[in-house]
Amino acid sequence: MNYFNKNKFSHGIIFHHFHDNKLHPKSQGSLSKTDLIKLIKFVGRKNILNADEYYDKFKKNLLRKNHICLTFDDGIKSQFDIATPILDEYKIKAFFFIFTSNFTQKKCLLELYRYFRNKYFKNIDDFYNLFFEILNKDLNTFYRKKKNKMELWKKQHSYFSLNDIKFRLVRDDYLSDDKYNIIMKKMFLLKNFTPQEHLKNLYMNKKNIIELYKKDHFIGLHSHSHHTDIKKLSFKNQFKEYKKCKSILEKILKNNNEIKTMSHPCGSYNANTFKVLENLDINLGFAAYGNTKEIFEKRKKNFSFQVPRIDHPLVIKMMNI
Ligand SMILES: [Zn+2]
């Protein structure tokens, strides 16, 4: 299959997790070094623009449908350890979008939870069983109420098991953040899991980010605390989120006003987000594929902040057809 028969417009590819089965275990959707090389060859090295070229062509409106860029979200350490040596080998400069709460006292626990689920249980159902045992609540009424949402998720995410769906629903719609964190802490204790020693292997540190920057990769904003639905925040709070992210990154990189790009955490944004980004001198923002294809083709007003991206599992799926 030719990649560009399917994708008829310029876009970025989104990457998250990589595995080497040593420091970074395999997890849902993660890629190995070899997978990444295969993906680069499938898309075609000549079609992959370096971040600065992509940015310049974008500004001059010169992007063509076969112009692709590679983007890495969330400042995940396995990207630095596994993917960047491959980028070096193929001389590719990519975009790295970093959220910054991990450089403050209040760490983001998302990656930690993901790592714990993958590493400390025989399989994911094992994790779910213990989770529901600790929660110890009769959830039948809750599931009945959520029947429509469950049906919808089954349709949208055919790869989710019933347990995957139930867990996500309980986590997001039944429990408060605090209650969820309490259950996870209980599980940590039961499994003798000490979070502090793992954090450094899950997220990039300042030195890693400086190194990427010095290698001419583009460092961009991804908000401060990676709220899962930032469009629900007021203009003022969205501004705080992106302003703080920008200040912290500028301090790490020792530059001022050089950060011009961003990607939306969890693909969430609205008109307020665009105003915030304009205020912060951001020129290029990446969204996700689904909701931006038409906007891309029609080149509507706020297109600059909604450049489409394709999630890497979709590319892998195309490779295997
Ligand atoms: Zn993210």
Taking the domains of the chain in order of start, what are their residue ranges? 3-106+202-319, 121-192
Distance from Cα 97 to the centre of ligand 1, integer Å = 8
Token pair for residue 82? 């596994």
| Cα-only R_g, the chain | 20
Quickly count: other Cβ atoms within 10 Å of residue 267's Cβ.
Answer: 20
Taking the C-alpha atoms of 251, 71, 222 and 172 in order, what is their torsion angle to the nearest 10 degrees? -140
- 268-299: pLDDT as tens digits: 899 999 999 999 999 999 987 654 556 555 55
Give helix 124-135 / helix 162-169 axis angle, nearest 10°.
40
Distance from Cα 144 to the centre of ligand 1, integer Å = 31
Distance from Cα 267 to the centre of ligand 1, integer Å = 8
Strand order through the sheet with 309-311:
284-286, 261-263, 218-221, 95-98, 68-73, 11-15, 309-311
What percent of the chain is modeled with pLDDT above 70? 95
Side chain identity at residue 197, one-letter code: E
- 72-116: pLDDT as tens digits: 999 999 999 999 999 999 999 999 999 999 999 888 888 899 899
Token pair for residue 172? 């997001």
Side chain identity at residue 52, one-letter code: D
Grade residue 257 by pLDDT with cuts at 50, 70 and 90.
confident
CATH code for the domain defined by 3-106+202-319: 3.20.20.370
Distance from Cα 140 to the centre of ligand 1, integer Å = 32
What pLDDT is recorded for position 49?
A: 98
Grade residue 60 by pLDDT with cuts at 50, 70 and 90.
very high
Distance from Cα 8 to the centre of ligand 1, integer Å = 25
Residues ≥6 apart with Cβ < 8 Å to 280: 221, 242, 243, 246
Three-class DSSP category at 164: helix
Grade residue 205 by pLDDT with cuts at 50, 70 and 90.
very high
Which protein residues have their CB within 5 A of the ion that is ligand 1? Answer: 73-74, 265
What pLDDT is recorded for position 303?
A: 77
Distance from Cα 169 to the centre of ligand 1, integer Å = 20
